[in-house]
Amino acid sequence: MAILELEHLNFHYRTLRGAVRAVDDISFEVEKGHTLAIVGESGCGKTSTAAAILRLLPKNVARYDGIVRLDGKNVMELSDEEFRKTVRWQGISMVFQGAMNALNPTARVGKQVAEPLQIHFDAEKEEAMARASESLRSVGLPEYVERSYPHELSGGMKQRVVIAMALILRPGLVILDEPTSALDVMTQTNIINLLKRLKKEEELSYIFITHDLALASELADEVGIMYAGQIREIGPSEYVYPSPKHPYTKALLKSVPILRSSESPISIPGVPPDLIESPFACRFHPRCSVSFEECGWSAQEFADILERLRASGEDGGVRWGEAEVEDDLTLVLKPEDGMDPVTYRKALEEAFHEQEESTRAFKAVTKVEVRDGGVAVTLHEATTPYMIGEAHRAACLLLRKGGEKDG
């Protein structure tokens, strides 16, 4: 039975340039006693997903909607005060990234761990401190830590304190936001072993947010691969790691060095997309090694690519000319040096065909025709890929078409 279910969750930030779609139509579930690892590059929306689940919202919210069910109850229907009292920390708690930033440097550790009990249950100070001592011992910390200040502890000890704070109210689900990112390898191992023990003894469920695929494999029962605000692949870790379906997941795994392997890691070309003006259809297609016409280039993206090719001198001998974007799928190219438009159209068609493997966007061209002294280029009308499969699902047009290619 699922302890947490998300359906079409959206969380966008308002900025002067437009809405940043940090969490865009996310759906997944976490089974009781299981760990779901959310993996992806920095800036893909992992931490924003955690903030959306816990309703930790900034002032510049442009959109926040969807369904979040905890133990079958839609907590999005609760008022902010009801949510604070019954869900946050008591039903779902969080271990924030960077233990030092999560702790008050002027307060003793024991007092900070006890604070949720006093706030949520109006517990007496003596009772709260006793529970705090118990919680600190459960994460393997000695007794003196309770009377210490954060600056007197090592990085690993501070991380254990933050975990103790997250567990003080006995929540069923804990969100771990890169809990070991600032720690050395040995301390990372100790923290992961601690989380495994607590999961077994307390029957905890985790959402483990990380960009480290190797670390995720140590703790995760299921893995969700996130890219540009969306989940692109999700399934049991024993399926996703050996048999990834989405080209982005394949590229991520190939970028990780493997011990006792002679193969060098391969970097993913390009940069993550702008979450304000996201690419058409599949958001990974501008960086994908197996993209094709249906993956979805817009006319503006196409014009930008032509400009980069011209600036770099990699135009294959074709002077692309000035591009004027007519609509989402059409742009008009003006020939330079007085070239005849008919001759220019023929040169463009040949260039698009010859360079479609090196410049994937050229595969999206469906029509090239002379128009008003220029040449109009029309692109394929793309469709957004959806998640297909059952236990192991992925969103890629190649899968929908029934074929897979090595990426």
Coil, strand or helix at 354: helix
Residue type (1 letter), 310: R
d(CA 383, CA 397): 9
pLDDT at 407: 41
Task: Give me the mean pLDDT over the 122-126 stretch.
Answer: 87
pLDDT band at 388 (very low <50, low <70, confident <90, very high): very high
CB atoms within 10 A of CB 363: 20
d(CA 134, CA 147): 14
pLDDT band at 403 (very low <50, low <70, confident <90, very high): low
pLDDT band at 82 (very low <50, low <70, confident <90, very high): very high
Residue with tokens 């949720």: 116
pLDDT at 406: 43
Asked if pLDDT for residue 73 goes beyond 70, the answer is: yes
Asked if pLDDT for residue 120 goes beyond 60, the answer is: yes
> Cβ distance 146 to 135 under 8 Å?
no
The residue count of the chain comes to 407
3-state DSSP of 102-138: HCCCCCCHHHHHHHHHHHHHCCCHHHHHHHHHHHHHH
Domains and CATH numbers, the chain: 2-254 (3.40.50.300), 297-379 (3.30.70)
Asked if pLDDT for residue 171 goes beyond 50, the answer is: yes
Coil, strand or helix at 65: strand
Residue with tokens 């529970």: 131
pLDDT band at 191 (very low <50, low <70, confident <90, very high): confident
Coil, strand or helix at 50: helix
- Measured over the CA atoms of residue 231, residue 235, residue 238 and residue 241, the dihedral's sign is negative
Mean pLDDT of the chain: 90
254, exposed or middle or buried, with CB in 10 Å at 0-12, 13-18, 19+?
middle
pLDDT band at 364 (very low <50, low <70, confident <90, very high): very high
pLDDT at 52: 97
User: In terms of pLDDT, which residue wins out, 10 or 123?
Assistant: 10
pLDDT at 32: 94
pLDDT band at 316 (very low <50, low <70, confident <90, very high): low
231, exposed or middle or buried, with CB in 10 Å at 0-12, 13-18, 19+?
buried
pLDDT at 314: 67
Asked if pLDDT for residue 308 goes beyond 80, the answer is: yes
User: In terms of pLDDT, which residue wins out, 14 or 374?
Assistant: 14
Instruction: List phi, psi (to 5°) of 258.
Output: -115, 130
Task: Give me the mean pLDDT over the 50-69 stretch.
Answer: 96
Residue with tokens 């761990």: 113
pLDDT at 315: 61
d(CA 120, CA 401): 52
d(CA 18, CA 277): 9
Q: What is the per-residue burial (b if ≥16 Cβ within 10 Å, else e) of 136-169?
A: bebbebeeebbebebeebebbbbbbbbbbbbbbb
Q: Residues 6 or more apart from 397 whose CB is under 8 A from it?
A: 281, 282, 292, 294, 295, 383, 385
> Cβ distance 375 to 332 under 8 Å?
yes
> Cβ distance 139 to 80 under 8 Å?
no
> Cβ distance 329 to 335 under 8 Å?
no
